[in-house]
Structure 1
Amino acid sequence: MSESLVIRQGGCLCGAVRFRATGEPINVRICHCRNCQKATGSPFFARALYSQTALEVEGETGSYPSSATLDRVFCKACGTRLFSWRTNGTAAGVALAAFDDRHALAPTEHIWVSEKMNWVRIDDGLPQSSNGPPPV
């Protein structure tokens, strides 16, 4: 009996970029770090982390190296910020709101809350890490 893998699809605002994520994410987190704030233009980046091999991306994307370890990937046509792509080839964070079913995945923790914006209130009961992710 074969086990079927979950496939979640999504894309950018204009539809020029589409993606498929196969299997379950490594984790689903909300990052409050300053780089994520600046890169998304939002108070935080809610994302599902997948192995890069689990993602198929179609369409023309651009990228910006926001650090030595992370590229921010966006649609070249409409500018939608889609992924945070690790430069070492291991994983990519997929923006939760870019999935077709935006309710399919829910965050399980907050990271970098020491850098969250003052007016953001976290009252969802999820675990919080002051800085980066907790040790595995």
Structure 2
Amino acid sequence: MGESGRLTGRCLCGAVSFTAVPSKMEMDVCHCGMCRRWSGGAFMAVGCGNSLEIADEADLGVYRSSEWGERAFCKKCGSSLFWRGVHDGSVAVSMQAFAEPERFNFVEEIFVDDKPANYAFANETRRLTGAEVVAAYAAKQEANNG
């Protein structure tokens, strides 16, 4: 990691490349149905605040998936790249899109009540239900707007 803490990443085909500064060297997993369908499994993400910089957005697709967020992907290869909050612009970048995904520690799972019963992670993590996540996000938005 450079002096700025900025890390590099890209999609599978390389058409969309980016840099971002992780808020922490931690990875979270989302088990919600939207993330599982979008990523093809549990979405492993790294919070990067508003630090994401895309080199060239020509091949970046964006899909508004809820009142809270939108999902970005490569229009050429289909790689899932990041989730972005529509109210604050903060991003959760796919851990696997970073050049060195092994650098991140696995610390939290969210929407654990949506997780199918046919898989489980062995790691000891903080686990939050969907209701807990939505309440925390709503409280954060209220605090930012208040």
TM-score by length of 1: 0.86
Query: 2: distance between equivalents of 1:101 and 1:58?
Result: 18
**Is the 8 Å Cα contact of residues 106 and 123 (structure 2) preserved in structure 1?**
no
**Paired position in structure 1 for 2:19:** 20
Matched, 1:41 2:40: yes
Q: Deviations over 1:57-92 (max 9, x none)?
A: 123200111111111100111111101011113301
Q: What SS does structure 2 have at the residue aligned with 1:37?
A: helix
Q: Is contact 2:25-2:103 (8 Å) kept?
A: no
Tell me, yes or no, if the aligned pair for 1:29 and 1:48 is still in contact at 8 Å: yes
Unaligned runs of 5+ in 1: none
> After TM superposition, where is structure 1 displaced by more than 4 Å over at least 4 residues in a row?
none
Number of matched pairs: 131
- For the 8 Å contact 1:6–1:24, the answer to whether it is kept is no
Instruction: Judge conservation of contact 2:47–2:92 (CA < 8 Å) in 1.
Output: yes
8 Å contact kept, 1:65–1:71:
yes
Aligned Cα root-mean-square deviation (Å) = 2.0
Matches within 5 A, 1:1-136: 4-22=3-21, 24-25=23-24, 28-42=27-41, 44-52=42-50, 54-59=51-56, 60-131=59-130, 132-133=132-133, 135=136
Offset, 1:40: 1.3
1:72/1:23 CA distance change after superposition, 3 Å: closer
Percent identity (aligned): 27
TM-score, normalised with respect to structure 2: 0.81
Q: Helix, strand or coil: the match of 2:126?
A: coil
